[in-house]
Chains A and B, each alone.
Chain A
């Protein structure tokens, strides 16, 4: 398959570059629909990788790259279940999304997240799966999960630890603060900062450059410099599920979902 058009994501393979487009309003929240379509994408990768050299993930929504997990869906589903069923449901979801994100992380393709606007929580974690992050100057990053009594659950902490130093990892996680693209480049998270609405163009130019090299060599280099922290990824799921079973999490989700505050992401 060379292209796919879904309700939350679409992708197209053209001239050796597969572009995965996020387009679920309001800001590409990752829920069951997005996950199902991402699983279809992951399943298609085996075939796509035979004729592609690069993958670009980007969003067509003005609001941003991705605001993270669909907390409204998570809250509403949890409310219909008993505690143990809700925790098991969350574990199943996390296992599935980890399989998808690990598959993209493992891909021999050179991968680029072209981000703008809100790149929060699970959206930040999706970007961290990629080899490079190219940001427009209005991109903003954050791990706000502690506000809900949780830790990032889509692989964010192990991948952030893989890429950045402890001072930054602890600051982002333990304060839950957001930071802009300039800061992200300063700390080594983002490789290029470009003007507003220019991230995709820059990512395409970068992908074209990456296509000049022998694929096997590029894949070997990637595997060497970007090991996947499988053990920590497994532990992250366990920690998330332990925390999710606490009453404070339901209260936190309820507060967030019902908030009319202009800054609901703040603790």
Chain B
């Protein structure tokens, strides 16, 4: 099974590519809503992309209050 760091790195790469943000500007503890500047529809888009990429199911209610990439990676890691 891949490590949490690997999962985190894949999330940051995916977010950088899809939302066209330089990878070096994204840090694990960033508030991804602010760093990516995403609205509610784009948040859903990110959620779906993450589910498709990692082949996991992420119920929205488990992500409530999650705002940084590191915690998000932990939620995904728990379902790999």
Contacts and interface: CB of A to CB of B under 8 A. Distances in A.
Interface of A: 26-27, 63-64, 117-118, 137-140, 175, 177-180, 182-183, 261-267
B17 interface: no
Nearest to A63: B41
Given A262-B33, A262-B38, A263-B40, A178 B51 contact: no
Given A138-B49, A180-B51, A118 B44 contact: yes
A266 B64 contact: yes
A180 B57 CA distance: 8
B48 interface: yes
A262 B59 contact: no
B44 A178 contact: yes
**The 5 A-B residue pairs with the shortest CB-CB distance in the complex, in nearest-first order:** A177-B59, A262-B33, A262-B43, A180-B48, A177-B60
A176 to B, nearest CB: 8
A26 B45 CA distance: 15
B41 A263 contact: no
Nearest to B57: A183
30 contacts: A64-B41, A117-B45, A118-B44, A137-B48, A138-B45, A138-B52, A139-B48, A140-B48, A175-B59, A177-B59, A177-B60, A177-B61, A178-B44, A178-B60, A179-B57, A182-B52, A183-B57, A261-B40, A262-B38, A262-B39, A262-B40, A263-B40, A263-B43, A263-B64, A264-B40, A265-B44, A266-B60, A266-B61, A266-B64, A267-B61
Interface residues of B, number: 18
Contacts of A118: 41, 44
Interface in B1-42: 33, 38-41
A103 to B, nearest CB: 30
A212 B47 CA distance: 39
Given A182-B51, A262-B33, A175 B61 contact: yes
Given A63-B41, A138-B52, A262-B33, 10 more contacts: A64-B41, A178-B47, A180-B48, A180-B51, A183-B57, A261-B40, A262-B38, A262-B43, A263-B43, A266-B60
Nearest to B36: A262
A267 B43 CA distance: 15
